[in-house]
Structure 1
Amino acid sequence: MDKYNILVVDDDREIVSAIAIYLENEGMHVVKAYDGLEALEAVAQGNIHLIVMDIMMPKLDGMKATMRLREENNIPIILLSAKSEDTDKILGLNMGADDYITKPFNPLELIARVKSQLRRYVKLGTLPQEQPDEEILRSGGLVMDCRSKTVTVDGEPVKLTPIELKITELLLRNQNRVFSIDEIYERVWNEPSFAPENTVAVHIRRIREKIEINPKDPKYLKVVWGIGYKIEKL
């Protein structure tokens, strides 16, 4: 792929212009939008590979836009906000965002996070594995096709975000092995873990809501209290 198309969404045009300069200097093509509705239109019209989007915007805010996008699309979404409280980060992740950056941000950090998300989106399945690559992974009725990056449960398709796919693939490739929160974060996010508990827990909960009949009594994705998570071999 020669050039990535990055959608930058913020009602502050100066911020959009500044982010565009950083991304274009890295060889990326930037599509600009100034509210959530324009973001939805841009995604519908073009081949967007990643979205950087502010939360507080007119017409349709970043949280609601993320929810709308997640109904049909798995494009990585990085949310921007002046708020730094954990509750806001968790809410953004619950809405379907893949990452969260607090304003003001370091341009180098933004670029690093964009590149990290693009690597996962374009090259899902590149994380180190203990077992040889397999094209079809299954545990009972839970099946992942690693070629098409699709997941089904009892034959019914399940839509997972790129991060959710990475976590599910990691656990499916290593069934019955318990992964700690730190290890999941480092293996999936490809960076050292710094207080990753909330981030990992939110994604685990979202996966359960999608693959389990009763998320409170999971059949596949199990917690091993005080240690971590696993997918059982069924």
Structure 2
Amino acid sequence: MTEVLLVEDDALLRESTHLMLERYEYRLWAASDGLEGLALFRQREPDIAVVDVMLPGLDGVSLVRRIREESAIPVLLISARTDPIDVVLGLEAGADDYVTKPYDIPVLVARIRSALRRAAGSAPQLSAGDEKTQQRFGDLTVDTATLEVRRDGDLIKLTPTERRVMLAFIAEPGVVLSRTTLLERVWDYDWGGDGRLVDVHVQRLRLKIGRAHILTVRGFGYRFVP
């Protein structure tokens, strides 16, 4: 059974979300503040964390950062519509996606399922008889079987979402990919979505693989440079 860590200080919202997610056959561990959430994360080792931005004790952005220091599990941020800056800060800290309050449980469940699929996603299928899984792009080596990315031989630590972004780029090196295209291929959004998800994850990926490998094509999107 998939285990979900829910960190939400609003008691009513926490309890209602807890009950509803259990109906979808998730096992829930709920915390009312950031420090309790961090302790539960370390004790239970959940499959995914759902974290509110505004938390007492340890705020949501700091909690996301602490989780990301110790684990690559998917992290879903919960934010009020009036907190666009906090959303960006949370994504920069390592969150994979976000939902805004008030949210419908089916929407939250859809985001959870999408994040879990990205985390468990397999490498692209190779054609019959093709045993070459390592692709080189200058100082980068990407193994499409193990999903490992190395720079000058050193392993780069990527989150599951960052790996999906990387795979999307190397599938079409030199081709400009729009934010909409990346939202569809990486986040499974078929209805648009928030371009900030793409921008922040591309920025984080750039810092890890080298800025020269991903160029911004203003007004269009991003291009991977082999």
If the length of structure 1 is used for normalisation, what is the TM-score? 0.86
Which residue matches 2:220?
Answer: 227
Give the 5 Å matches for 1:59-138. Answer: 59-125=57-123, 135-138=133-136
Q: Work out the CA distance in 1 between the residues paired with 2:70 and 2:191.
A: 30
1:127-147 Cα offsets, whole Å, 9 max, x none, are 9xxxx8963233122122333
Q: Which residue of 2 aligns with 1:207?
A: 205
Contact 1:125–1:166, Cα closer than 8 Å, also in 2? no
- My pick for the range that moved more, 220-229 or 74-83, is 220-229
Q: Which runs of 5+ in 2 are unaligned?
A: none
Secondary structure (helix, strand or coil) at the match of 1:191 reads coil
Q: Deviations over 1:190-212 (max 9, x none)?
A: 11253533221111111111111
Quick check: 13-22 or 93-102, which moved more? 13-22
Name the structure with the higher helix share. 2
Q: Distance in 1 between matches of 2:107 and 2:41?
A: 24
- SS of equivalent residue, structure 2 residue 70: coil
1:149 aligns with 2:111: no
Counterpart CA distance in 2 for 1:133 and 1:52 is 39
Q: Is the 8 A contact 1:175 1:231 kept in 2?
A: yes
Q: Deviations over 1:31-71 (max 9, x none)?
A: 12222222222222233111111111111111001111111
Comparing 18-27 with 222-231, greater Cα deviation is found at 222-231
- Are 1:171 and 2:153 an aligned pair? no
What residue identity is the alignment partner of 1:8?
L
CA distance in 2, matches of 1:179, 1:52: 29
Among 21, 25, 28, the residue aligned to 2:26: 28
Partner of residue 56 from structure 2, selected from 58, 75, 78: 58
TM-score calculated relative to the size of structure 2: 0.88
Counting only pairs closer than 5 Å after superposition, residues 175-186 of structure 1 correspond to structure 2 as: 175-186=173-184
Query: Could you say what secondary structure the match of 1:71 adopts?
Result: helix
Helix, strand or coil at the partner of 1:222: strand
Deviations, residues 169-224 of structure 1 (Å, cap 9, x unaligned): 11112222221121111111111253533221111111111111xxxxx3212223
Whether the 8 Å CA contact 2:165–2:186 is kept in 1: the answer is: yes
State the distance in 1 between where 2:224 and 2:111 align: 28
Amino acid corresponding to residue 69 of structure 1 in structure 2: I
Whichever residue aligns with residue 168 of structure 1, its letter is M
2:123 touches 2:145 (CA, 8 Å); kept in 1?
Answer: no
Aligned-residue RMSD, C-alpha: 2.3
Name stretches of at least 5 consecutive residues in structure 1 with no aligned partner. 213-217
Which residue is equivalent to 1:4?
2
Q: Is contact 2:123–2:146 with CA below 8 Å preserved after alignment?
A: no
